[in-house]
Amino acid sequence: MKPLGQLIVICGSMFAGKSEELIRLVRRAMYARKKIQVFKHALDDRFHHSAVATHNGVQIDAVPVRNTQEILNLLEPDTEVVAIEEAQFFDEKLVRLCVELADAGKTVIAAGLDQDFRRQPFGIMPQLMAVADEVVKLRAICVVCGRPASHTQRLVDGRPAAWDEPTILVGAEDHYEARCRNCHQVRRVPAHLRRRLWRPQKRAKTPPQSAKLGEKSA
């Protein structure tokens, strides 16, 4: 019987534990004696050029690649599990590849940022999440207030980054923080995006109870 493939997408802000979760799933596959190949986008060289690494120093070997075609060139036919780190940096062809691999009975694990520093969908992540069998959405802790954080705050010289700065800037604690939606900030947001579609309505004042009773008695 043909094995049942699956596509698992791990997403969230920076410092949410995406790499840790990918490593955990890869290690489970290792214990099950599955043949595994791990890839990472070559742009991510923060901790190690040829490894998926967490902020805490935990790592597994990975092959750095620049695009989907390089993954295709390196894939071995008997591989059972394919893990891909920093999926948001890849081209749209990766979505199709992940679906085809899962349809062929392989387990595909893709991890990446679902939003950029502006809180906008990042690259191909929305498409990957839409076709996934399972989406693992992780949250970090806001460094300002300590509440759950779903957003990535970019800092430039200690100040929030401006909207018109480049989307991709590879870095860690030197450039980024995890923030909740109340504490996240972006400078120079375009005027049309600052306009609110919805504003809370002010409630009409309710007359005091004593005044209502007085009206009835009269």
Kindly tell me the sign of the dihedral angle through the C-alpha atoms of 40, 46, 47, 50. positive
- What's the Cα-to-Cα distance from 152 to each of 117, 126, 177, rounded to whole Å? 5, 17, 6
| Nearest by Cα to 62 from 91, 41, 88 | 41
178 and 142 Cβ atoms separated by less than 8 Å: yes
Which two tokens mark 64?
């750095």
C-alpha 12/C-alpha 41 separation (Å) is 17
What's the gap between Cα 142 and its chain centre?
15
H-only helix segments in 32-92: 68-74
> Does residue 76 carry a catalytic annotation?
no
Q: What are the helix and strand counts (H, E) for the chain?
A: 6, 13
20, 21, 76, 86: the active-site residue? 86
C-alpha 61/C-alpha 49 separation (Å) is 9
Residues catalogued as catalytic: 86
